[in-house]
Homo-oligomer: A and B are copies of this chain.
Amino acid sequence: MTMDANGGADSPWQPFETRRRNRDVKREAVLRTAAQMFLDRGYQKTTLNDVADRLNITKPALYNYFRSKEEILFACWMLGKDKAYESIERIDSEGGSGLVKLQQLIRDYARLMTMDFGMCMVCLDDRELSDEWRAEVRFHKRHVDAAYRRYITEGVADGSVAPCDTKLAAFAIGGALNWIGHWYKPGSRTPDEIAEQFVHLLTSGMRA
């Protein structure tokens, strides 16, 4: 088998940097495949053999990239979380009224819910995780939830949002958004259309 072009000249050993990059590429492939299968048939009903088969490798090979099935699940969750955190950080840095920030978060989060790793956050059950990891997941869940509440509270304070039960309002909005992950299938409506509609549907009743 000839070596492909992306490595060292003639040596069968690719340079360290290339090897590490290959490794990361493969790790991510495992992750993406696993995420899709977890979403498709459920975490418990997806065996590592299933995942390995789809990747054309064998089960033990997965252990080169992850220490356990649970770690794969955790990593899926973390990828989604990163996206959510990025949104929140960007929104916070951009400023604006509470309502504007809330609308931006809804927009971003709706789009996230139409993507694999976003779906993982709400479709996979954190009770599959060990105590430690579950604690971390729940911590991040609360962080996202806190952002909703914070924006609503800010909105009420700055007059852009009508007074309401902040906690329940955040749950309602979060629920509507999270649920996207449960019903979205690529098809009639694009993620952007969904996002805009949800911004409208979820905030038109909240304006001051």
Q: Could you tell me which A residues sit within 8 Å of B by CB distance?
A: 41-42, 44-45, 125, 127-128, 164-165, 168-169, 171-180, 182-183, 189, 194, 197-198, 200-206
A42: contacting residue among B125, B177, B179, B205, CB under 8 A? B125
Having A168-B194, A171-B179, A178-B182, one finds 11 other A-B pairs with CB under 8 Å, namely A42-B127, A42-B128, A45-B127, A171-B176, A172-B176, A174-B179, A175-B182, A175-B183, A178-B179, A201-B206, A202-B205
B residues within 8 A CB of A168? 189, 194, 197-198, 201
B residues within 8 A CB of A44? 44
B205 pairs with A204, CB closer than 8 A: yes
A197: contacting residue among B165, B173, B204, CB under 8 A? B165
A164: contacting residue among B169, B178, B201, B203, CB under 8 A? B201
* CB of A124 to closest CB in B, whole Å: 10
A205: contacting residue among B128, B179, B197, B206, CB under 8 A? B206
The interface centre, meaning the residue of A173, A179, A206 with most chain B CB atoms within 10 A of its CB, is A179
| Complex: A45 Cα to B201 Cα, angstroms | 37
B residues within 8 A CB of A169? 201
A201 pairs with B205, CB closer than 8 A: yes
10 contacts between A and B (CB under 8 A): A41-B127, A42-B128, A164-B201, A169-B201, A171-B180, A171-B183, A178-B179, A178-B182, A179-B179, A201-B206
Q: Closest chain B residue to A174 by CB distance?
A: B179
| Complex: A177 Cα to B200 Cα, angstroms | 18
| Complex: A182 Cα to B189 Cα, angstroms | 26
B residues within 8 A CB of A202? 172, 205
A175: contacting residue among B42, B165, B179, B204, CB under 8 A? B179
